[in-house]
Chain A
Amino acid sequence: MIAALIFAVSVAALLQFFVSYCRSVLAASAKAQLSEQGREVAGISGSVTGDDFRRLIRLVYLCPEPGGDRNAIRAVRAYFRLLRLVRAGIAKLVPATADWLERECEGCAYFAAVALDRRISFSRDLMARQMANGL
């Protein structure tokens, strides 16, 4: 009985900490501006939507890694999956949550766009350095 209670409290706390941690990662990237080059390569013309997330993440994994963002990307991917799961399960029963879930998914997609932008800029720098060394 006590073990079940501890388990329930721990799972609730884990969910709360995980969601807050992911939101803190998203909030840190929300301040970053996307470059024109990044928008062009990612095919983003207007604002980023939640549906863009998977496509952007696939592009992120195609770029060379500058280091340091892999864990954040993993955490946000897990958070996005959790949001989609909640949307599939709860949003139909509680329609009021649908808007909030969509905003969160947009936040995840914007995070992926910022990560992609950073990786594209890293790749350009890398290529420029290689060309300079070659010359």
Chain B
Amino acid sequence: MLGSLVLSICRFVIFMRSGYTSSEYVYFYYYSDAVDTVLLYSCIMGLYQHVLTEMGVSKYLRVGSILLLGGTALVSLLLVREHTNQLTTRFVVELSQNLYFVGVVLTCLLWGTVVKLRETRTRLVQLVLALGIYFSASAGAYALRNMAPDLKITMFVPPLAGTFLPLAWSCTFWKIPEEARLATARVATPNR
């Protein structure tokens, strides 16, 4: 989260210095977005470790997450390899998009695990859900941009999601005590 904050500050500095349409800002935005996505991907894996801590599967999780990240990078490279000009930039953008979608799938699975294991830690529940909102909003915005590149709304969703996540996480750490517990079944299912 701290890394993500540093990247956001750097983005803002470049935005103020060079402007929104400058190539410096565009390049920095996409490259930092890829780094940001990888950092948040590691956050999801960290949350998996927290949820599955009693099962003692941390070693498998670590290997699995590296393999999945490597696989996503490989698929992204295969998708953009025909574009010989600006290969790195195209790869970085493709990797971000794919990692956002992988993030959505992983967070959905994590949420399913939280519900199935009847995890009651309020903090953990809210952290997972906020991360899910961030990943699904960002992945949706990228997909919409691919379908309709001229649609203005796709410009606003990633910054909004990027603002929501640190605020929601800060709020969770600040307002929810560590010992707070919640009946996850009440949150996940429509009937109480």
Binding site for B on A (CB under 8 A): 3-4, 6-7, 9-11, 13-14, 16-18, 20-21, 23-25, 27-28, 68-69, 71-72, 100, 103
User: Separation in Å of the A41 CB from the closest CB of chain B?
Assistant: 23
Chain A residue nearest to B138 (CB atoms) is A10
Among A17, A23, A24, A103, the residue within 8 A (CB) of B136 is A17
Tell me, in angstroms, the Cα distance from A24 to B139 when the chains sit together.
Answer: 23
Q: Which of B134-192 contact A (CB under 8 A)?
A: 135-137, 139-140, 142-144, 146-147, 164, 167-168, 171, 174-176, 180, 182-183, 186-188, 190-192
Contact A10 B171 (CB under 8 A): no
User: Separation in Å of the B114 CB from the closest CB of chain A?
Assistant: 10
User: Separation in Å of the A42 CB from the closest CB of chain B?
Assistant: 21
CB<8 Å pairs between A and B, sample of 12: A3-B144, A6-B142, A9-B101, A9-B139, A10-B140, A13-B107, A13-B135, A14-B137, A20-B111, A27-B182, A72-B175, A100-B190
Interface of A (DSSP majority class): helix
Contact A24 B187 (CB under 8 A): yes
Contact B133 A24 (CB under 8 A): no
Contact B175 A24 (CB under 8 A): no
Chain A residue nearest to B167 (CB atoms) is A71
